[in-house]
Amino acid sequence: MIRKQDLHRLDEYIWELPVTFRKKMQVPVRLFASERLLEHALQDEALMQAVNISRALPGLVGHVAVMPDVHQGYGFPIGGVAATRWPDGAISPGGVGYDIGCGVRLLASRLTYKMVAPYLDELADALNARIPSGVGRGGSVKVSNADLEQVCRRGVRWALEHGYAVPEDLRHIESGGVMAGADFGKVSPRARERGRPQLGTLGAGNHFVEVGLVDAVFDADAAQAMGLQEGQVTLLIHTGSRGFGHQICSDYVRALQKEPYVRALPDRDLAYAPLSTRLGQDYLAAMRCAANFAFTNRQLITHHARAAFEQVLRGVYDQDVWWLRVVYDLHHNTAKVETHTVGGKRVKVCVHRKGATRAFGPGHPDLPPEYRPVGQPVLVPGSMGTASWVLVGAEGSMAQAFGSTCHGAGRMMSRAQAKKRVRGSALLEALEAEGIHVRAGSMRGLAEEAPFAYKDVDLVVESVVGAGLARKVARLVPLAVIKG
């Protein structure tokens, strides 16, 4: 177990475990957190998992970055960022996770709270009815194997061509809604079988659709660039690649764990493939298929959400009032080939982000022109009963964390512990008493996602802002939540 005294404090919000902490560490581990959140990070094995990355993954550059919402995961901690040199470094499925492409989309309407308040209950029902959710649940969009291949190759462009998107949607999706280099031939028949019926579905666990309200704006220029203002009704979508990505991860972990070097790793869940090998390239190609599935999945849920808003509000308000416009959509479980400055030199690297969000600073050419002056939008959801945040990437994220920041509040209590603390029905009653309309697939699943099971998202945001990784733009509060 790592102790507080093992870390060197570099700044108010930056802590470091040097390479001398454990034998065979190649790079330091750097944690971005307030002192209070550091105490949470020391309560499980998350920081030791980050140390093990430094000891195990070939080709690491810079340092392993750890976000304030960190908690223990599979191989990599959730909230971990690590970059390996391209093309002679390594790729690790544990550095992406099982829910490949999991991420968040923010949509904004021109509705105000006063306009939507009388219809919130009906709107929650319509969203719940139209957006399939729950473990293993299939969707209303039926796709063939040929369609699935096109989804994997073309991402949201497939949705556009089939009437599930409008051209403006693609403008505000990370990478235009598609990661290049996907190869459907590297995806197993079992993954295809699991993924095909689940396109356009929410799933369970911490995935959700949330009607929210902008209750505060902190950066007027960035908010204006995104079309956000106080009192505005929004919609957040948090989901990923469902069983499709899970099976892809399982397939490649199983293959990698047969490699003889795995026995020497400090954690066999850190199994990796050299990027230059066939297996490494195959995993990257399959992972990109799942990432494109996830982009498209959130697009189809957007389509369903727009239909729900139309069902409830058509005839009450004009379409341009209730229409849900895409503000931004991005992954927080992926690996991407990017160029970053390390030690004063520009280096091409494969950046693993697991429970961490890309947060490019102002001026980056990969951003849409309207966002380039302010930085990349970053979406940080909280828990059901707390706020969520819109941030923008800052220069510090580029210099200190490979253009990355936090992805959410971060669990500090297991699902089993949460269920022991509260009954789902009691939690439902408490949330409804706060004016939050909740639709849940099961009371057990609702209890697992109780707000007290998560860290304080405001403290997480305070840490990344204090460390210079991001800037505050707007705070969102929940009005209605749909969960599987």
pLDDT of 271 over the 70 cut? yes
**Catalytic residue numbers, as ranges:** 407
Place 136 in a pLDDT band, splitting at 50, 70 and 90. Answer: low
Q: Using one digit for the tens of pLDDT, what is the confidence trace for 231-257?
A: 999 999 999 999 999 999 999 999 999
Distance (Å, whole) CA 439 – CA 417? 22
Mean pLDDT, the chain, rounded, equals 96
Work out the average pLDDT over 267-282: 96
Characterize 432-445 residue by residue with b for buried, 16 or more Cβ atoms within 10 angstroms of its Cβ, and e for exposed.
Answer: eeeebbbbbbeeeb
Pairing of strands 470-483, 437-440: parallel
- Give which of 341, 359, 309, 330 is closest to 465, Cα–Cα: 359
Pairing of strands 103-112, 232-239: antiparallel
Place 1 in a pLDDT band, splitting at 50, 70 and 90. Answer: confident
> Percent of the chain beyond pLDDT 90?
91
Given this model, what pLDDT does residue 134 score? 66
- Polymer length of the chain: 484
pLDDT of 138 over the 80 cut? no
Q: Domain coordinates of the chain in residue numbers?
A: 4-412+454-483
- Give which of 310, 388, 448, 365 is closest to 106, Cα–Cα: 388
Output the DSSP codes for 369-436.
TTTTTT--EEEE---TTS-EEEEEE-HHHHHHSSSEE--S--BSS-HHHHHHH--HHHHHHHHHHTT-
> Percent of the chain beyond pLDDT 70?
99
Which tokens in the block code for residue 56?
């195990």
Given this model, what pLDDT does residue 360 score? 98
Side-chain-facing half-sphere of 198: CA atoms under 13 Å: 25
Place 133 in a pLDDT band, splitting at 50, 70 and 90. Answer: confident
Place 161 in a pLDDT band, splitting at 50, 70 and 90. Answer: very high
Q: What angle (nearest 5°) sits at the alpha carbon of residue 322, between those of residues 125 and 220?
A: 115
**Model-level pTM greater than 0.85?**
yes
Work out the average pLDDT over 322-350: 97
Residue 162, classified by CB atoms within 10 Å of its CB into exposed (0-12), middle (13-18) or buried (19+), is middle
Q: Which segments of 194-305 are extended strands (E)?
A: 208-217, 232-239, 273-274
Given this model, what pLDDT does residue 135 score? 66
Q: Options 3.90.1860.10, 3.20.20.140, 1.10.1530.10, 3.40.50.720; which CATH number does 4-412+454-483 get?
A: 3.90.1860.10
Given this model, what pLDDT does residue 287 score? 98
Given this model, what pLDDT does residue 367 score? 97
Q: Using one digit for the tens of pLDDT, what is the confidence trace for 87-120?
A: 999 999 999 999 999 999 999 999 999 999 999 9
Q: Is 118 helix (H, G, I), strand (E, B) or coil?
A: helix
Q: Using one digit for the tens of pLDDT, what is the confidence trace for 376-433?
A: 999 999 988 899 999 999 999 999 999 999 999 999 888 889 898 999 899 999 999 9
